[in-house]
Structure 1
Amino acid sequence: MSKSVKRVQKALGALKLDTSIQHMPGSTRTAEDAATACNCSVEQIVKSMIFEGAETGKLRLLLVSGKHTVDLARAADIFGETLIRADPRRVRSETGFAIGGVSPVGHLSETDTWMDAALLEHDRIWAAAGAPNAVFSVAPQELKDATASKIFQIG
């Protein structure tokens, strides 16, 4: 088990989330791959996307339903500033995760977190657990509370 996956496992326990990490035989790097591997709808997949505030430079973690994309043209209206894609090296150094395996929990440093309201429509959602083939499922309200996420609406 990789360091990143162990860190997620430790965070899940510390947050008392009722879940366990599952290793899938194939990649769960894309929302479609993850939905197939997890035997769920793409809407139940949590895409953990890291952006940087164009003015503040502050990293923001957006937990987005697999059915949605983030419209960066609307970001300033939702998040208070324009967002740009974060550099992958910065993502790894500040979160401890490589893009494709970014988990909502277990980051090396605290990250401002926002959750897509559409994720709250499901009983269970699936999120990355620190590696391209590692995932965990959780009740969306539990994840929202554990990550102190602010809710945002796409569309």
Structure 2
Amino acid sequence: MCGAELKNLPEGVQRVAAALESLGHPHRPQMLDDAARTAQQAADALGIAVGQIAKSIIFRRKSDDVAVLVVTSGDRRVDEKKVEAHVGGKIGRADADFVKSRTGFSIGGVSPVAHATPPVTLIDQDLLRFEVVWAAAGHPHGVFALHPSDLQRLTGAPVVDVVQVVAPESAA
């Protein structure tokens, strides 16, 4: 990538592309025709299982106002008590202004990399079920492919159990 092809991409996607390139990631972000603000929308646009979407959820650690990023499988729900155990304190939901100010991305396009302020990050172990997952690339239309283990390499975050227990009949 020489950089010229990035000029037509939204600023957030340009930041993600630059970060991925600097980290030696082989897959560039790509833009979808339609917005993929939810895991289901992204999965439908890509023609993949919703579990293959590596959704980025931002929480606010209450003790110090630090952003906590949980990257989880699109077919799972985060267990906030498990997250609190890993980050050492109570967490709360983050509103759109908090997400934008801490990450530099709008909700629906939060990438696991290239944040304005580095968050405390946790990666859901259930993502390892897949060979390839797709993550947001800094814009609701932007995504990039990666192997789930690449998330740990790209973010330096631990892979842990942070999701609610799934009943066997509803497991993906």
| Higher alpha-carbon deviation: 145-154 or 124-133 | 145-154
- Residue 143 of structure 1: aligned partner: 151
| Inter-partner Cα distance in structure 2 for 1:78 and 1:144 | 16
Gap runs ≥5 in structure 1: none
- Residue 117 of structure 2: aligned partner: 109
Q: Deviations over 1:114-155 (max 9, x none)?
A: 000011121110000011111000011112111011122122
The structure showing larger relative contact order (alpha-carbon pairs under 8 Å, at least 6 residues apart) is 1
Pick the structure with greater CA Rg.
2
TM-score by length of 2: 0.85
1:52 equivalent to 2:35? Answer no
- Residue 17 of structure 1: aligned partner: 25
| Inter-partner Cα distance in structure 2 for 1:57 and 1:90 | 9
| Inter-partner Cα distance in structure 2 for 1:112 and 1:129 | 19
Post-superposition shift, 1:57? 1.9
2:104 maps to which of 93, 96, 109: 96
- Residue 41 of structure 1: aligned partner: 49
Post-superposition shift, 1:24? 0.9
Letter in 1 for 2:73: S
Q: 1:120 to 1:3 in 2, by over 3 A?
A: same
Please give the root-mean-square deviation of Cα atoms over the aligned residues, in Å.
1.3
1:61 equivalent to 2:69? Answer yes
Gap runs ≥5 in structure 2: 1-8, 166-172
Letter in 2 for 1:85: R
Q: Is contact 2:60–2:93 with CA below 8 Å preserved after alignment?
A: yes
Q: Structure 1 runs of 4+ off > 6 angstroms?
A: none
Q: Is contact 2:133–2:147 with CA below 8 Å preserved after alignment?
A: yes
SS of the aligned residue for 1:108 comes to coil
- Residue 27 of structure 1: aligned partner: 35
